[in-house]
Amino acid sequence: MALDDDMREALDMFVTEARDLVQGLEEGLLELEDQPSGGETVNAVFRAAHTLKGSSGLFGLQHLVAFTHVVETVLGSVRDGTLDVTPGLVSALLPCTDHLSAMIENLARGQLEPDAALAADGTRLLSGLEPYLADGGAMTPARAAPGADAEPHEGAWRLELGFGEDCLRNGMDPLSFLRYLATLGTVTDVVTVTDRLPDAAEMDPESCYFGFQVDLVTAAPKSEIEAVFDFVREDSDIRIVPADSQLDTYVRAIRAMPENDRIGDVLVASGAVTELELAEALRIQQERALRGKTQPVPIGEILIEQGIVQRGIVDAALGRQRRTTETRSQDTRTIRIDAARLDKLIDLVGELVIAQSSTGIPSSSGGETSAEAQGEVMRLVDEVRHSALSLRMVPIGSTFRRFERVVRDVCMELGKEVSLVITGGDAEMDKALVERISDPLLHLVRNSLDHGIELPGERRNRGKTQQGTLRLNAYHDAGNIVIEVADDGRGLDRERILAKAVERELVAPGTPLTDSEVYNLIFEPGFSTAETVSNLSGRGVGMDVVKRNVTALRGSIEVETARGVGTTMRIRLPLTLAIIDGFLVGVGSSSFIVPLDRVTECVELPPGPLVRDCMNLRGEVLPFIRLRQIFGIPGQAARRQNVVIVEQSGQRTGLVVDSLLGELQTVIKPLGILFSRVKCISGSTILGNGEIALILDVGPLIADHSDREQVRQAVPVG
pLDDT score for 129 = 86
Burial (CB count within 10 angstroms: exposed 0-12, middle 13-18, buried 19+), residue 149: exposed
As a whole number of angstroms, the distance between CA 44 and CA 78 comes to 12
Domain 579-714 annotated CATH 3.90.1820.10? no
Kindly give the pairing relationship between strand 692-696 and strand 642-648.
unpaired
pLDDT score for 421 = 92
Look up the CATH superfamily of 5-133.
HPT domain (1.20.120.160)
Locate the domains of the chain by residue range.
5-133, 155-325, 339-361+368-392, 394-574, 579-714
At 696, which helix (H) or strand (E)? strand 692-696
pLDDT digits (tens, 9 = 90+) for 595-634: 887 889 999 988 876 667 888 888 888 889 999 888 888 8
DSSP bridge partners of 158: 215, 241
User: Cβ neighbours of residue 54 under 8 Å, at least 6 residues apart?
Assistant: none
Question: Do 398 and 388 meet the contact criterion of CB atoms below 8 Å apart?
Answer: no
pLDDT score for 673 = 64
b/e string for 674-705 if b means 16 or more Cβ within 10 A? eeeeeebbbbbbeeeeeeebbbbbbbbbbbeb
User: Cβ neighbours of residue 242 under 8 Å, at least 6 residues apart?
Assistant: 155, 156, 157, 158, 249, 250, 272, 309, 310, 313
Question: Do 106 and 122 meet the contact criterion of CB atoms below 8 Å apart?
Answer: no
Question: Do 342 and 391 meet the contact criterion of CB atoms below 8 Å apart?
Answer: yes
pLDDT score for 358 = 76
User: Cβ neighbours of residue 716 under 8 Å, at least 6 residues apart?
Assistant: none
As a whole number of angstroms, the distance between CA 228 and CA 172 comes to 12
Among 437, 438, 649, smallest CA distance to 550 is for: 437
Among 25, 116, 27, smallest CA distance to 75 is for: 25
Among 11, 21, 26, 6, smallest CA distance to 111 is for: 11
Using alpha carbons, list the distances in angstroms from residue 179 to 175, 182, 185, 187, 224.
Answer: 6, 5, 11, 9, 15
Look up the CATH superfamily of 394-574.
Histidine kinase-like ATPase, C-terminal domain (3.30.565.10)
Kindly give the pairing relationship between strand 237-242 and strand 211-218.
unpaired
The proportion of the chain whose per-residue pLDDT surpasses 70, expressed as a percent, equals 85
Sign (positive/negative) of CA torsion 290, 291, 297, 300? negative
pLDDT score for 148 = 41
Burial (CB count within 10 angstroms: exposed 0-12, middle 13-18, buried 19+), residue 96: buried
pLDDT score for 147 = 42
Q: SS3 for 474?
A: strand
Neighbours of 8 (CB within 10 A): 11
Q: How many helices (H) and strands (E) does the chain have?
A: 22, 21
As a whole number of angstroms, the distance between CA 685 and CA 679 comes to 17
Residue type, 651: Q
At 674, which helix (H) or strand (E)? none
As a whole number of angstroms, the distance between CA 300 and CA 205 comes to 40
Question: Do 159 and 216 meet the contact criterion of CB atoms below 8 Å apart?
Answer: yes
Q: What is the largest CA-CA distance in the chain?
A: 115
pLDDT score for 611 = 64
At 2, which helix (H) or strand (E)? none
pLDDT score for 717 = 45
Q: What does the angle CA 576 – CA 689 – CA 479 come to, to the nearest 5 degrees?
A: 20
Residues of the chain with pLDDT below 70 are 1-9, 38-39, 58, 134-153, 256-261, 290, 292-295, 324-334, 360-370, 478-479, 526, 528-542, 576-578, 609-611, 649, 672-674, 676-677, 710-718
Neighbours of 262 (CB within 10 A): 15
pLDDT digits (tens, 9 = 90+) for 132-156: 876 554 444 444 444 444 445 678 8
pLDDT score for 277 = 85
DSSP secondary structure string for all residues of 567-597: EEEEEEEES-SSEEEEEEEEETTEEEEEEGG
pLDDT digits (tens, 9 = 90+) for 657-677: 999 998 887 777 777 666 766
CA end-to-end span of the chain, whole Å?
80
DSSP bridge partners of 581: 665
Question: Do 393 and 431 meet the contact criterion of CB atoms below 8 Å apart?
Answer: yes
